[in-house]
Amino acid sequence: MLMYTYIMRKILVIMICFLVTFAFSSLHINAYTIKGGISYTVSKARQIAFENVNYKIDIYKYKEFFIDKNFAINQKVMLKDKKKYKNRYLTKFSKGEYAIRYKNQPSHAYYYDSSGKLCYIDIDLNSSYPKQRVTYNINGILDSVTLDTSSNEQFIFDTNKQLIAHWIGNNCYDDKGVLIDTRH
């Protein structure tokens, strides 16, 4: 009887070792087989986008950017379809507006109308995805909130938390999926 109990314990220990080994190896394999990115619904993007957002800033901290002091040069550069010039990155939009992001201030972007007057300031709140970005108008009042879910996709919401634009690549769609803008 003593020998029988000893053998049963040995079998039980071997079975437990086998199960533990199998369980850990399964976890290890699964860790390598899970692939793909996170997809966001409009609702989830909205929730994340509005976390810790200030509704007003002191706009006079940015008075040096009220007028694009390099307007003529920037226009020439953008006519050549260049996106980079000296100390700044330029983005031209289809309706004549453009944005400037300075290399020494990468968390801020300044949006100008076609005559070089500041319309909006974008401020990045964090640097990893999903990235929150807030946009303030020329009076320092929150205009919109953007959530960049990847380098290829952004959700933009108004201050009432309604979706106003969904960028996928270089195309911008409204809340009904209609193409409303492109960027170059």
Contact between residue 59 and residue 66 where contact means Cβ atoms under 8 Å apart = no
The answer on pLDDT for 15 being more than 80 is no
For 26-38, the pLDDT digits (tens) are: 433 333 333 346 7
Per-residue confidence (pLDDT) for residue 30, from 0 to 100: 34
Quick one: what percent of the chain has pLDDT higher than 90?
65
> By C-alpha distance, which of 129, 161, 164, 160 is closest to 147?
129
pLDDT at 169 over 70: yes
Q: How far is CA 148 from CA 33, 49, 154, in A?
A: 26, 9, 4
Among candidates 179, 162, 169, which has minimal Cα distance to 45?
162
pLDDT of residue 93: 87
Which of these, 7, 102, 98, 34, lies nearest to 64 by C-alpha position?
102
Residue type, 30: N
Going by pLDDT thresholds of 50, 70 and 90, the confidence category of residue 69 is very high
Does residue 24 surpass a pLDDT of 50?
no
Q: Across residues 121-140, what is the average pLDDT?
A: 95
Higher pLDDT, 27 or 82: 82
Amino acid letter for position 48: I
* CA–centroid distance for 61 within its chain: 25
Look at residue 18 and tell me whether its pLDDT is greater than 70: no
How confident is the model over 134-148, as a mean pLDDT? 96
From CA 98, how far away is CA 110, in angstroms rounded?
Answer: 8
- pLDDT at position 80 is 87
Residue 20 has pLDDT above 60, yes or no: no
